[in-house]
Amino acid sequence: VIVGVIDTGAWPEHPSFSDQVDLVDRPGESGKRTRVYGPPPADWHGDCQSGELWSQDDCNNKLIGARYFKDGFTNFEINFSGDYLSARDADGHGSHTASTAAGNAGVAASILGVDLGTVSGIAPRARIAVYKACWADAGCAGSDLTMAIDQAVADGVDVINYSIGSSATSLASDDIAFLFAADAGVFVATSNGNSGPGAQTTGSPAWDPWLTSVGASTQDRTFQGSALSSDGWEFFGASITGGTDELPLVDAADAGDELCNPGALDATVVTGKVVLCRRGAIARVAKSQAVFQAGGAGMILYNGNDGDSQNNDTHWVPSVHINNTDGLVIKSYIAATGADAVASIQGGEFTPIDAPWMAGFSSRGSNTVAEDIIKPDVTAPGVNILAGASPINYGDSPQGQLFQFLGGTSM
């Protein structure tokens, strides 16, 4: 099976995309490597397109194809300086979806030096072909997406993974391209959208009856840490970072900005302390970056409401992500205790949880375009999914990590 992933590309050196296996566990063969994949199928007509930091050698018998599409932006003043003019992934989203769908089995994963066990794609023996039609900071042009779909079908993929969509409820060129893909016998899975939990929030192309639209639900495992104080309270939440000693605790609202925008926190208030930040407005990891830049030692991130997910993000400082109710308790504690407020962060550990539940962000039916067609078709785990990353990303996360937890119907 060949899975075509239309996304932001891939990081070809990632172990999830290798066609080799390390034999260190076999007696007398330590250090040797052997191919575990034969040549691509005879009916494969794809290409390994060279480009910036991508050569023919970056494809192999697992990652058998790579193309990139940018002509749709020709008439616009688009700046590609934050990306590679090739199929190389500068964002991380494409590497994550490709490794989730068809990454190798038994791949050792770690983040910030924390051992997270091993991961596997859903179809670990499938081949992967990447079609980069989305660009860091620039987005995706509809004409590029359409060309990528048509090219993937012509190349001979069996499956297309399309973790892309919009709130539009009118036919676009990618909707029509997928109709022809279905006619050619190619199975298409697309994300149902992240505009939930309101009704009738499924958009294009997820509403199409000729493809499979996938909603996001929780899974029965996470990495959980806690924020606690010797004054007698402890609250649990998502965390994959290390912990801290007990330190002074401050409310970011008292340091200049409760949302912890980078550059907005007063370092004289924050330095050496654990900071309580409120979720909202900007990326979650940008908030820990703000704490880091201001000299803070840790972050407690609390949701704006209890319906929001708690996410295992790759934060800049030891962090734990808790719900709204618990965050407001800590906020009240700081207000009552003042300069005597203290807290520590306990680093995340593998924890089983009750599941599945529909993710709050997952778009819902009914189908506003064709009410007799039920969408989404299925749901699958899409919260705190551990998979591949680009180590050179242009987002807010710390650099150099080959894995990350992401959530969304993309996953």
Q: For tokens 């992934």, name the residue.
A: 89
Tokens of 253: 């609202």
Contact 317, 295 (CB under 8 A): no
User: Which residues are catalytically annotated?
Assistant: 7, 93, 410
Q: Is the dihedral of CA 100, 103, 105, 109 positive or negative?
A: negative
CA atoms within 13 A on the CB side of 175: 15
- Render 116-153 in DSSP notation, one character per residue: EEEE--SSTTSEEEEEE-EETTTEE-HHHHHHHHHHHH
Q: What are phi and psi of 167, to 5 degrees?
A: -90, 0
* Separation of CA 380 from chain center: 15
Cα–Cα distance between 31 and 20 in angstroms, integer?
A: 12
SS3 of 351-405: the string is: EECCCCCECCCCCCCCCCCCCCCCCCCEEEECCCEEEECCCCCCCCCCCCCCEEE
